[in-house]
Amino acid sequence: AQSVTQPDIHITVSEGASLELRCNYSYGATPYLFWYVQSPGQGLQLLLKYFSGDTLVQGIKGFEAEFKRSQSSFNLRKPSVHWSDAAEYFCAVGAGNNDMRFGAGTRLTVKP
């Protein structure tokens, strides 16, 4: 079965600084990859997804992610972080069926 590792439990960045959140997956074939964001006490909002094609995908709120097969990674990036980006971010991998596995999440704190 597929699995996801988010190596960073908590990241703090200054407002206006760039951001990269790491995600590594394990799956034998080409996976479906997702990034979700969750604000405190709320459900998950889809930021972006990768199924195939261009390995650099654009999402909402100025986020992008790059699929690197050789590194089994799907890192999330944003060039300039806003205070409203403070939240929990989850990477997920799907196998084309119902079975979607989530990482444990990375909590983002934004310093003023």
Partner 1 sequence: DTGVSQDPRHKITKRGQNVTFRCDPISEHNRLYWYRQTLGQGPEFLTYFQNEAQLEKSRLLSDRFSAERPKGSFSTLEIQRTEQGDSAMYLCASSPPQVQETQYFGPGTRLLVL
Binding stretches for partner 1 (CB under 8 A): 4, 32, 34, 36, 41-46, 49, 51, 90, 92, 94, 96, 98-105
When the beta carbons of 15 and 102 are compared against partner 1, the nearer one is: 102
Which amino acid is located at 54 in the chain? D
Question: Residues 6 or more apart from 100 whose CB is under 8 A from it?
Answer: 34, 92, 93, 94
The nearest distance, CB 48 to partner 1, in angstroms, is: 11
When the beta carbons of 6 and 13 are compared against partner 1, the nearer one is: 6
- Give the residue among 44, 4, 7 at the shortest CA–CA distance from 25: 4
